[in-house]
Amino acid sequence: MAQTMTDKSRVLIFDTTLRDGEQSPGATMTHDEKLEIADMLDEMGVDIIEAGFPIASIGDFEAVSDIAKRAKTSTICGLARAKLPDIDRCWEAVKHAKSPRIHTFIGTSPLHRAIPNLDMDQMAEVIHDTVTHARNLCDNVQWSPMDATRTEHDYLCRVVEIAIKAGATTINIPDTVGYTAPAESAALIRMLLERVPGADEIIFATHCHNDLGMATANALAAVDAGARQIECTINGLGERAGNTALEEVVMAMKVRHDIMPYDTGIDTTKIMNISRRVAQVSGFPVQFNKAIVGKNAFLHESGIHQDGVLKNVETFEIMKPSDIGITETNIAMGKHSGRAALRSKLKDLGYDLADNQLNDVFVRFKALADRKKEIYDDDLVALMSDTAANTADDYLQVKWLRVVCGSDGQEAELKMLVDGEEKSCKSEGDGPVDAVFNCVKSIYPTKAKLKLYQVHAVTEGTDAQATVSVRLEEDGRIVTGSAADTDTILASVKAYVGALNRLRVRSQKTAPDADVKQVSYKL
Ligand code: KIV
Ligand code: ZN
């Protein structure tokens, strides 16, 4: 069913974390992680979930189709290039949804027209044929002129009109390279609304990238000019500098409703938990000073502004932490905390666990509590992320590790299970992490190249847990593994092994030439 817009103040939220976000190098998510994120988006009231790019790989197809089958209220959308087989494949994946949508696109700017070597008339014909084909399959069709902000205005008006006549119900205007600025973004939407026949019968969407740091401002300016769908991702995840951040546009319209009188269907109290979860599964941590969801975004409460805030909360606070679901639960748990307390704390953090899952997490929690006196919310989030990322069914598993390091040199001894069989190795290296990674490589030889090794302390103190992210690349596939432990070296090897497990699963599912990055923008 196509979205109808009777309420002029309603702005639809189109989340593309699982497509444009996941497409950013290294942010690959597993099938189960995608389903979990889709469930969270659905529950928080996202109107349209762009669940993937079905033609890109079997994995993408299966994810879109499974998300379509389970979505409760969100419209489920898949991306398709302007090619009939892409559109057919997309429809096969989304058709199971209660409300399916096909999103087809083609690059319309001079630079993009040159790639398939189509002149303006030939491209116009492709647009007509592909949108017509999509509309014959599905009554909810979105069309995007990629790089719209660098497309000649006359040509943009011409192709938008063709797409509308061919049956597109949403026209998305992408600022593909993050080139536009707020005044220009608004003027473009206004121009299309004024000049294109039929423009008042469809919904205009805005899709902004953040290369110049203006994605949020550009999206909101487009809404002011008449766009009624914002395309965005959680934490602004996305290629290069990312996409418009969902939490930023939604909270901006809520907090400044006086000057942006637009409504969304988003339950903002679900923002913090989904932000944390997307950071974990994508391996892209949120910067501390990130608007809305950064660790420091509400720090004035306990920092230097505390006095003012205590006297009058509005002195420094334009929104409440609870508005985005921060339930001031940062009271430490410890080794005497029981199962019920752990369950309730995890529930506050957005993890609703079945009894058997809780038992597993409780064992890990007790092990952590033996090593760390006070366990804070962030420790629990890290623990949950580690539990999800490294499981007992993994092909490669770390069993035991001993490292000797110091001024006399570094040596590591490691025992691992490879498909259930125990293997061990001793290696030296240039530092303890290098020594341990050398052990892994001699037990499980790999061509994968290390692209990123990153360590974060979860909380303060020398007994803090470290979360480690390891990004690997092999044959064009990029994956990220992550792990948490109070022992940084153990966390490092678990993250490395986790990444190797992901790479193995991914190479079984996709041939290198079927990879998303290689098909994404080519006609
Ligand atoms: O940025 C972009 O142009 C896109 C399109 C595929 C909509 O993501
Ligand atoms: Zn994009």
- Establish whether 243 is an annotated binding residue: yes
The pLDDT value recorded for residue 509 is 64
Q: Give the orientation angle of helix 58-70 with respect to helix 488-509, to 10 degrees.
A: 100
Extract the runs of DSSP E, i.e. beta strands, from 61-169. 75-81, 100-107, 141-146
- Residues 375 and 458 reside in one and the same domain: no
Q: Are 126 and 163 in contact (CB under 8 A)?
A: no
- Establish whether 20 is an annotated binding residue: yes
pTM for this structure?
0.85
- Establish whether 207 is an annotated binding residue: yes
Q: Which residues contact 139 (CB under 8 A, 6 or more apart)?
A: 1, 2, 169
Q: What percent of the chain has pLDDT over 90?
A: 67
Among residues 414, 482, 470, the alpha carbon closest in space to that of 443 is found at 414
CB atoms within 10 A of CB 11: 28
Q: What percent of the chain has pLDDT over 70?
A: 92
- Residues 437 and 449 reside in one and the same domain: yes
Query: Is residue 182 classed as helix, strand or coil in its secondary structure?
Result: helix
What average pLDDT does range 136-154 have in this prediction? 98
Please report which ligand is nearest the Cα atom of 82.
Answer: 1
Give backbone dihedrals phi and psi of 12, rounded to 5 degrees, phi first: -80, 140
- In-domain check, residue 512: no
Name the domain boundary from 341, 361, 388.
388
- In-domain check, residue 183: yes
The answer on pLDDT for 389 being more than 80 is: no
The pLDDT value recorded for residue 36 is 94
What confidence tens digit (pLDDT) does each residue in 295-327 have?
A: 888 875 455 555 666 667 676 679 999 999 987
- Establish whether 209 is an annotated binding residue: yes
Q: Which two tokens stand for residue 49?
A: 């979930």
User: Which residues face 466 on adjacent strands?
Assistant: 457, 485
- Residues 271 and 217 reside in one and the same domain: yes
Q: Are 369 and 345 in contact (CB under 8 A)?
A: no
79 Cα nearest atom in ligand 1: 6
Extract the runs of DSSP E, i.e. beta strands, from 429-515. 449-457, 466-474, 477-485
Of the listed ranges 21-30, 157-166, 167-176, 297-306, the one predicted with least confidence: 297-306
- Residues 334 and 306 reside in one and the same domain: no
- In-domain check, residue 240: yes
What confidence tens digit (pLDDT) does each residue in 101-142 have?
A: 999 999 999 999 999 989 999 999 999 999 999 999 999 999
The pLDDT value recorded for residue 119 is 95
Ligand 2 center–CA 391 separation, angstroms: 33
Place of tokens 């994120």: 37
DSSP calls for 361-395: HHHHHHHHHHH-S-B-HHHHHHHHHHHHHS-TT-S
The pLDDT value recorded for residue 516 is 40
Please report which ligand is nearest the Cα atom of 80.
Answer: 1
Number of domains the chain is built from: 4
Task: State how far the Cα of 69 lies from the Cα of 25, in Å rounded to an integer.
Answer: 27
Ligand 2 center–CA 174 separation, angstroms: 7
Q: Which residues contact 76 (CB under 8 A, 6 or more apart)?
A: 48, 49, 51, 64, 67, 68, 94, 97, 99, 100, 101
Task: State how far the Cα of 472 lies from the Cα of 495, in Å rounded to an integer.
Answer: 11
Task: State how far the Cα of 415 lies from the Cα of 500, in Å rounded to an integer.
Answer: 16
Ligand 1 contacts (CB < 6 A) are 20, 105, 144, 146, 172, 174, 176, 207, 209
- Residues 309 and 169 reside in one and the same domain: no
- Residues 256 and 201 reside in one and the same domain: yes
- Residues 269 and 360 reside in one and the same domain: no
Q: Which domain holds residue 305?
A: 297-327
What confidence tens digit (pLDDT) does each residue in 224-257 have?
A: 999 999 999 999 999 999 999 999 999 999 999 9
Q: Give the orientation angle of helix 246-255 with respect to helix 215-224, to 10 degrees.
A: 50
- In-domain check, residue 500: yes
Fill in the amino acid letter for 113. Answer: R
The answer on pLDDT for 350 being more than 90 is: no
What average pLDDT does range 181-206 have in this prediction? 98
Task: State how far the Cα of 349 lies from the Cα of 381, in Å rounded to an integer.
Answer: 8
Q: What CATH number corresponds to the domain at position 116? A: 3.20.20.70
